[in-house]
Amino acid sequence: MKKQQFVVIGLGRFGSNLALELMDLGYEVLGIDRNEELVEEMSDHLTHAVVADATDEEVLKSLGVRNFDCGIVAIGNDIQMSILAAILLKDLGINTVVAKAISVLHGRALEKLGVDRVIYPERDMGIRVAHQLVTPNLLDY
Ligand code: ATP
């Protein structure tokens, strides 16, 4: 069976760790970031890593992004960039689009665009750690 292919947009702390973990799990990952240094750091560890502006539709098309099974928008702080990248991934027809949100309103906007799954890493990690702190024997929540 063909390996699932992921495109990760934004190789900050969240995006880079997500991309590396997907690689460890045996999947193919294309990482995209406009920051040359970050892309260089990741280039030996991902299937492909490319310096590009993820809000440039022509660039995404030329990278063949439409053929990926899942796209993850791992841009948080720049809500405008996050939203534009998410719209483009949806319009290109990627089967599953996942996006990180930094606030409830940001998440609502992403949902309205049709993003398949919105994740709130800081909120979810806070909840998870709280559970671990009061349940010492709970290894993972
Ligand atoms: P993290 O917490 O994961 O480090 P962050 O929320 O602090 O991320 P962001 O500003 O959200 O940082 O950006 C995450 C990454 O997305 C950065 O490496 C940034 O260069 C990249 N990025 C932002 N906008 C674009 C864009 N239009 N095209 C490509 N990459 C982008």
Q: Tens of pLDDT along 1-39?
A: 678 999 999 999 999 999 999 999 999 999 999 999 999
Residue nearest to atom 22 of ligand 1 (CA): 10
The reported pLDDT for the residue numbered 135 is: 86
Measure Cα distances from 23 to 49, 64, 135 in Å: 12, 19, 31
Overall average pLDDT of the 65-76 stretch: 96
pTM: 0.93
Residue 136 has pLDDT above 80, yes or no: no
Residue 97 has pLDDT above 70, yes or no: yes
Residue 141 has pLDDT above 60, yes or no: no
Residues of the chain with pLDDT > 90: what percent?
Answer: 91
Whether 38 lines ligand 1, by a CB cut-off of 6 Å, is yes
Q: How far is the CA of 100 from the centre of ligand 1 (A)?
A: 11
Share the mean pLDDT of the chain.
94
Q: What stretches of 6-141 show up as alpha helix (H) in DSSP?
A: 13-24, 36-42, 57-62, 79-92, 104-112, 121-134
Q: How far is the CA of 68 from the centre of ligand 1 (A)?
A: 20
